[in-house]
Chain A
């Protein structure tokens, strides 16, 4: 582990020589650096050298939608009420959708695993519909949006714990056509 961390820091700092000469086979479980080996630099020194993002999302692209608006809003347990945070995200989604009127969206309602299957299919339908209604109120043409419920079938966090459940209770807005690529 130590070796890997060492290599990573080395690479980030553009000090590749130390890794290239590392004689340890990959099967070795622990590596004790010899007294003559260079010591890894402190992590803080790496930060300033991290490279900036490689590109800026193209206007009208799916990437831009996800990064500028956010493609997912979250719900409380067994609820389909839009929180203030969700409404803020949806306002940005609506603004983007109104800027690119040729795009079409699929709104998918999702639930956590703490409900029965059919009840969750119904709850997911409500969550998708709540988002659609809100976007329509913000001027998005309803014919550009379709809704679907996946119930508890499409978790994005596989863990079985509160944090994962709150992430898995969501409506995902997917731009399915009309976006620039």
Chain B
């Protein structure tokens, strides 16, 4: 709600900025779609040596790309910059940045302290208010410079929108290769911007539907490595894989509870899928649904009290919500078409879903009471949404047209800013990590 107060401040400054510099800080309202992107100036980070300047250029590039990809910012062409800052601790000549219509200026410096440590200092300036918005200092190993860039982009996003960012995050997904009738599907992980793609499984067995733990460096997913396809846990730090539980049948559709201590999933018995909850520590399991219908794709509310899932108990696949003990089940979707693969927003206010209607697939969102449905996308195949940790962006699997092969795409909650997430090959089933600590 606080956000509404910042309504269109940016626009106001453009109108009155030259005559009377506004006193309020630069703020951006991200709750509205199709907002004019805020113009930023981001020169290459300075350095006193060539290697420092090299890292400085790389870091600036990643920050520019992160912020531009959010759709909320436009990074001005570096060729237009008049002032060439050499010392970021000295106040910039604001007039030089106003004249190119930058709302804010990011200035940074790279210092290689020794071969194992690089330090990055940055300052964000409000060009029209002529104020120092904030400064940060961060250190890391030289090869880890990308994370510094993402953290700076997150800080800027947070400062200017009032909400936490999502750039220092990763995405687990399924990397696909080979012909459609003999597809290789491997568990893979990459940075949220597509950098550093890495395979986690060899491709000799099929892996599907990975999901990140909200609290630990663990992934849960469906693997065909065993005779009976089963839900597995993968520890990213150790590379260790283990079957989760000793269930009397195929398990699939796993997701972590918000505290990361439990996994909810479907179990098949005599062909029928019901929803079960398993405690990761005690390994105790509880059956939550017991219907002759398909009950699957369960997802927790962020407070851990409720579970949304899809079921065809009413004749076609629709979304239902139940309490965490399996009580109080009620249907929330009554629109045209079939609904599946629901995912509760980390903010709790919305549920994203896949909708099939009239031969098309859509990603949409609705409130947990089933009201306020908004369809965000349409394609031959759009499915399996995953939320950014701040609940502002969705990634999903898209096949743009028949036979095109699946790719990962993202869209803002507002319905604007549809983009393909770069992956080296066909990819599906993205799942967003929480912000990295």
A119 close to B380 (CB less than 8 A)? no
A140 within 8 A of B: no
A125 touching B271 in the complex, CB below 8 Å, given contacts A115-B356, A148-B229: yes
With a CB–CB cut-off of 8 A, which chain B residues contact A129?
270-272
Closest-CB distance, A178 to chain B (whole angstroms): 17
The residues of B with any CB-CB pair to A shorter than 8 Å are 179-181, 183, 185, 206, 208-209, 222, 227-229, 250, 252-253, 266, 268, 270-273, 294-297, 310, 317, 340-341, 354, 356, 380-381, 383-384, 402-403, 429
Q: List residues 112-134 of chain A with CB under 8 A from any CB of chain B.
A: 113-119, 121-123, 125-126, 128-130, 132-133
* B180 cross-chain contacts in A, Cβ below 8 A: 155, 158
**Docked-complex contact A125 and B179, CB < 8 angstroms:** no
* A125-176 interface with B by 8 A CB criterion: 125-126, 128-130, 132-133, 146-149, 151, 153-161
With the chains together, A16 CA to B312 CA distance in Å?
62
Enumerate chain B residues within 8 angstroms of A160, measured Cβ to Cβ. Answer: 380, 402-403
Give the complex CA separation of A148 and B229 in angstroms.
Answer: 8
B181 touches A116 (CB 8 A): no
- A residues contacting B by CB (< 8 A) are 80, 113-119, 121-123, 125-126, 128-130, 132-133, 146-149, 151, 153-161
Query: What secondary structure prevails in chain B residues at the interface with A?
Result: strand
> Is the beta-carbon distance between B340 and A118 smaller than 8 angstroms?
yes
Complex CA distance for A80 and B253, rounded to whole angstroms? 20
Neighbouring A residues of B179 by C-beta, 8 Å: 158
Q: Which of B183, B206, B297 contacts A118 (CB 8 A)?
A: B297
CA distance A123 to B208 in the complex (A): 16
- Which 7 A-B pairs give the minimum distances between C-beta atoms? A129-B271, A160-B402, A158-B180, A122-B273, A122-B294, A118-B253, A116-B340
Beyond A118-B209, A160-B402, whether A123 also contacts B294 by CB under 8 A is yes
Pair A121/B252 contact, Cβ less than 8 Å: yes
Choose among A121, A129, A149, A156 the residue with the greatest number of B CB atoms under 10 Å from its CB: A121
Given contacts A114-B356, A116-B341, A155-B180, contact A121 B271 (CB under 8 A): no
Interface centre among A130, A154, A160 (most CB of B within 10 A): A160
Q: How far is the CB of B210 from chain A (nearest CB, A)?
A: 12
Give the distance to chain A from B401, nearest Cβ to Cβ, in Å: 8
Tell me if B208 and A153 are in contact (CB < 8 A). Answer: yes
Q: How far is the CA of A148 from the CA of B250 in the complex (A)?
A: 8
Contact of B317 with A128 in the complex, beta carbons under 8 Å: no
Instruction: Chain B residues near A156: list those with CB within 8 A.
Output: 181
Q: Which residues of B contact A132 (CB under 8 A)?
A: 271
Q: What are the residues of chain A within 8 A of B341 when measuring CB–CB?
A: 116-119
Task: Please name the residue on chain A nearest to B253 by beta carbon.
Answer: A118
Given A115-B356, A123-B294, A149 and B268 contact (CB-CB distance below 8 Å) = yes
Residues of chain B within 8 A (CB-CB) of A151 are 208
Q: Which residues of B contact A146 (CB under 8 A)?
A: 227
Chain A hits for B403, CB < 8 A: 158-160
Supply 10 further A-B pairs (C-beta < 8 A) apart from A113-B381, A116-B354.
A116-B297, A117-B383, A119-B294, A121-B222, A129-B272, A149-B268, A153-B183, A155-B180, A158-B179, A160-B402
Q: In angstroms, how far is the closest chain A Cβ from the Cβ of B340? A: 4
**One of A119, A125, A133, A155 near B317 (C-beta < 8 A):** A119
Residues of B within 8 A of A126 (CB): 271-272, 294
- Is the CB–CB distance between A122 and B229 below 8 Å? no
Which of B185, B228, B294, B380 has the most chain A CB atoms closer than 10 A to its own CB? B294
Enumerate chain A residues within 8 angstroms of B266, measured Cβ to Cβ.
118, 121-122
Q: Which of A117, A133, A149, A161 contacts B402 (CB 8 A)?
A: A161
The minimal Cβ–Cβ distance linking A67 to chain B, given in whole angstroms, is: 21
Tell me the nearest residue of chain B to A129, going by C-beta: B271
User: Closest Cβ of chain B: how far from A101's Cβ, in Å?
Assistant: 22
Shortest distance from the beta carbon of A123 to any chain B beta carbon, whole Å: 7
The residues of A that contact B354 with a CB separation of less than 8 Å are: 116
- Report the minimum CB–CB distance from B277 to chain A (whole Å): 16
B353 to chain A: closest residue by CB = A116
Given A117-B209, A153-B185, A158-B180; A122-B383 close (CB under 8 Å): no
Residues of A within 8 A of B250 (CB): 121, 125, 148-149
Q: List 28 A-B contacts (CB under 8 A).
A: A114-B356, A115-B340, A116-B340, A116-B341, A116-B356, A116-B383, A117-B429, A118-B297, A118-B341, A119-B296, A121-B273, A121-B296, A122-B266, A122-B268, A125-B250, A130-B271, A132-B271, A149-B229, A149-B268, A151-B208, A153-B183, A154-B181, A155-B181, A158-B180, A158-B403, A160-B380, A160-B402, A161-B402
